[in-house]
Chain A
Amino acid sequence: MFDNLRTFIDKIKPNFVKGGKMGWLQSTFEAFETFAFTPNTVTTRGSHVRDAVDMKRAMITVVIALVPALLFGMWNIGYQTSLHAESWPFELGTAASWWYCLWFGFLRMLPLIVVSYIVGLGIEFMFAQIRHHEVNEGYLVTGLIIPMIVPVTTPLWQLALAVAFAVVIGKEVFGGSGMNFLNPALVARAFLFFSYPTHMSGDSVWIAADLWGTDAIAGATPMGQLAAGMNPSASALDMFIGTIPGSTCETSVIAILLGAIVLLVSGIGSWRVMLSVVLGGGLMGLLFNAIGANAYMQLPFYYHFLMGGFAFGAVFMATDPVTSAQTNTGKWIYGFLIGAFAVLLRVLNPAYPEGMMLSILLMNSFAPLIDHCVVARNIKMRERRALRKEVQQ
């Protein structure tokens, strides 16, 4: 079967090279060819690390890491709806069967994912074609993450607009994947958050009322309850497993940890960033525990890891190799500040119930500065060491 595909691709290839009948579609053709087969060209200049893991394989690994969270998220959409909906085929307050929940969630998620990929990849292909670049693979991951971090009731046209904004303003104006300094998926979410706040926060956006349409039922998230000055109604265990209302695929810490294992074992996600985010958030939580001025401050520090997008952000967003700090010391500082700022925003600013998105975006923009300082300090240290040696001689 692969032989046939290869012969077919080789047969139509001459049409797509420069000067061929459809030469203007070269980037598009190239993208699909390398999607199926590893390219047979090699770098001819300079030293080069050769590795079977190219960008496409790396991105697919991240997609695999996202699958547990995605599946759990789908199930949870159905489960939450069955618990709260009145027009559900089952008795109100009881959960529907496992398969039905998953099926319901799948049908709700599918349009979001399809819209995200069509709009995002469409723009990516267009830009690559105009600039005669290769189509970059980064959007395979971004396009899946965006539907996973928005409320399930987000209107599709708003999602499409946010995706277009994120890809064009968050990425392409800087020169495409690898040149962007902000995480595009978070740019999309921030765009939605500031443009259409009624669809992105509050109690009544997290649970879908029915299969189609954008109607929603009220179901408060733990973060929303805390911002309103109440204690969360869900237990820590519920939050750990993820059976709470929230953004589509962010709720389950277990599913996200499974993804984290995949990322860590394959070496694609940085353990330094993940660990330091947790450390930063934990220490900030402990600091607030020590102050203890209100109910939110007295909240046990580990609750911060379980609620909202903290875990998802730490594992999948903060570790984005393009927008995080590049130096090892820098990664520690970058991750620590993300965790600390996220908890700080949550507790002290009731206007933004979830601080993770804003704190990652903030640190994204500071990452180059952190790297610069780390490198400059290293240069200075080595200079001093060299001088000391000279003096001793």
Chain B
Amino acid sequence: MPWSKNNPVTVQVLGICSCLAVTAQLKPAVVMAISVTVVVALSNLIISLMRKTITPRIRIIVQLVVVSMLVVLVDQVLKAYVYDVSKQLSVFVGLIITNCIVMGRLEAFAMSNPPLPSLCDGIGNGLGYSIILIILGFVRELLGSGTLWGYPVMESLGVYNLGYENNGLMIMPPMALILVGIIIWIQRTRNKDLQEN
């Protein structure tokens, strides 16, 4: 299953860069997750439809053109409907083009499989990426800023009066890497067959 035992982030270890960069808050993380899922699913579908006509030598450049087109579309939609989040995500929407998950799935799956399985593979991998992003965004925003989706959870719980403080390290990208590490740790403890010798 691409969202658990073959998760693109925690098992294939792809797409780490955007994982660290956009998850300081939940909202951009969710928007990013949806964007990547859409791009992976649609590009998988399109490339799979074209797979028999693409000359192997130039396949990478064809894939790039398709992915770029989808990313530009997503970027325009984001700018039109959620402008502030699009500002926050800044270059990372554009960088979906170079996201290893997208290229990886195209190369590994869509180039040699029919359209419907390819679409499902894309959605599945997008969901796997999304789960990790949402977990990271949730934990980092809650502990780092004391809010969730902008709502001041910690303040309404009244924990600041007890001496609680927000953890500044949570907002920094290194902590996201450590959190990904912890998720991998938990996952491998639960699934023994993921452990290498």
Interface residues of A (CB under 8 A from B): 155, 157-158, 169, 173, 191, 194-197, 214
Contact = CB atoms under 8 A, between A and B. Distances in A.
Residue picked from A158, A173, A194, most chain B C-beta under 10 Å: A194
A157 B163 contact: yes
B185 A173 contact: yes
A381 B4 CA distance: 50
Contacts of B168: 194-197
A195 B181 contact: no
B169 A195 contact: yes
B179 to A, nearest CB: 10
Contacts of A196: 165, 167-168
A195 B163 contact: no
B81 to A, nearest CB: 35
A155 B163 contact: yes
Contacts of A155: 163
B185 A195 contact: no
A262 B64 CA distance: 65
A127 to B, nearest CB: 13
Contacts of B172: 194
A302 B76 CA distance: 60
Interface in B138-180: 163-165, 167-170, 172, 178
A195 B167 contact: yes
Contacts of A197: 168
Contacts of B185: 173
Contacts, number: 22
Nearest to A190: B169
B163 A191 contact: no
B: contact size bracket: 10 to 19
A197 B165 CA distance: 11
A169 B178 CA distance: 8
DSSP class of A's interface residues: helix, strand, loop or mixed? helix
Nearest to A194: B169
Contacts of A173: 181, 185
Nearest to B174: A194
Contacts of B181: 169, 173
Contacts of A214: 163
A191 B167 CA distance: 9
18 contacts: A155-B163, A157-B163, A158-B165, A169-B181, A173-B185, A191-B169, A194-B168, A194-B169, A194-B172, A195-B167, A195-B168, A195-B169, A195-B170, A196-B165, A196-B167, A196-B168, A197-B168, A214-B163
Nearest to A157: B163
Nearest to A155: B163
B37 to A, nearest CB: 30
A79 B185 CA distance: 47
Given A169-B178, A169-B182, A195-B170, 19 more contacts: A155-B163, A157-B163, A157-B164, A158-B165, A169-B181, A173-B181, A173-B185, A191-B169, A194-B168, A194-B169, A194-B172, A195-B167, A195-B168, A195-B169, A196-B165, A196-B167, A196-B168, A197-B168, A214-B163
A194 B174 CA distance: 11
Contacts of A195: 167-170
Nearest to A169: B178
Interface string B57-79: 00000000000000000000000
A194 B144 CA distance: 11
A141 to B, nearest CB: 24
Contacts of B167: 195-196
A196 B182 CA distance: 22
Question: Which 5 A-B residue pairings sit nearest by Cβ, starting from the closest?
Answer: A195-B169, A194-B169, A195-B167, A195-B168, A196-B165
Nearest to B170: A195
A187 to B, nearest CB: 11
Contacts of A158: 165
A351 to B, nearest CB: 13
Contacts of A191: 169
A191 B170 CA distance: 10
A157 B168 CA distance: 15
Contacts of B178: 169
Interface in B77-122: none
B67 to A, nearest CB: 36
Contacts of B170: 195
B66 to A, nearest CB: 40
A196 B166 CA distance: 8
Contacts of A157: 163-164
B167 to A, nearest CB: 5
Nearest to B144: A195
A275 to B, nearest CB: 33
A214 B170 CA distance: 23
Contacts of B164: 157
Contacts of B165: 158, 196
Nearest to A158: B165
A158 B168 CA distance: 12
